[in-house]
Amino acid sequence: MALKLLPRTRRIRAYLRWSDRGKSPTRYLGEVGYETRVRNLEEGWRLAHEKGLLVAPTPEPGSWAKSRAVRSSMQGNKNRDTAPERRLRVVLHERGLRYRVNVRPLRGVRRTADVVFTGPRIAVFVDGCYWHGCPEHYRPARANQQFWHTKIDGNKTRDAETDQLLAAAGWTVIRVWEHEVPQPAADRVETAVRGAPARGNSAE
C-alpha cells in the first residue's frame, strides 16, 4: 500500500502495488483524508478489499493473507511505533512520566503493550481503528466479508482476553484509539499512574 500527497491540492491518494514477474504494477484506489498515516493506510486497504483486489484463489500455507503479494505488503505496515503511539508518548514524557515501550507486561504471556509503567502496573494499548474494530470509524470490507469479519472479531476477542489476563494479574489496562487527541488520552494515563501505588517490576 502506498500513499501519494499531491503538492498543489494537498490531497492524498492511495495506491496498491505488488510484484509480478519482476514488474511492479500499481492500481489507484481512491483519495483518503484522515489525519494519520496509519489510518490512511487502513482506509487504503479497505478500499482495496472493497474493490475485490485482494482476493486470490490460493492462500499462502499458514497465512491468513490471500496471496504472497498481499502478505508481503501488509507485513510492511507498522505494528509498533506508529504515529499515534509516538504522539502519546511525547505528551507523557513532557509531563515527566517515564515508561517502557513495546514490552510484555506478563512473563510468559505473548501480549505486548505499547506503553508500560512497570511500578504501578499500568499497560497502555494504542489501537488502530480498522484492525481493532473502532465503533466510530471501522467500516467493514465489502469483498471477502466473512473472512474480514472473522479477522476483526478475532482481534477484538484477543483484546478482551488480554485485558482479562492483565486485570487478573493486578494490572490496569488503558486502551486509546488512534483517532483520540493525545492530550486527553494522556490525562487518563497520567491520572492512573500518579494515583496508583508503586509495586514490583513484572515486565520483561
Q: DSSP string spanning 86-152?
A: HHHHHHHHHTT---EEEE-SSTT----EEEEETTTTEEEEEE-TTTTT-TTT----STTHHHHHHHH
Report the length, in residues, of the chain.
204
| Strand bridging mode 12-17 / 2-5 | antiparallel
* CA 81 – CA 148 distance, rounded (Å): 24
Cβ–Cβ contacts within 10 Å for residue 189, how many? 22
CA 110 – CA 66 distance, rounded (Å): 25
pLDDT > 50? residue 109: yes
| Three cell numbers, residue 41 | 493506510
Set out the domains of the chain in order of their start, with CATH numbers.
Answer: 2-75 (no CATH), 83-195 (3.40.960.10)
Do residues 129 and 138 make contact, with C-beta atoms less than 8 angstroms apart?
yes
> Considering Cα of 38, then 39, then 44, then 48, what sign does the dihedral take?
positive
Q: pTM for the whole thing? A: 0.63
More confident position, 116 or 26: 116
The answer to whether residues 169 and 109 touch, using CB atoms and an 8 Å cutoff, is: no
Residue 201, pLDDT > 80, answer no
pLDDT in tens, 157-167: 999 999 999 99
What stretches of 51-82 show up as alpha helix (H) in DSSP? 68-75
- With cut-offs at 50, 70 and 90, classify the pLDDT of residue 40: confident
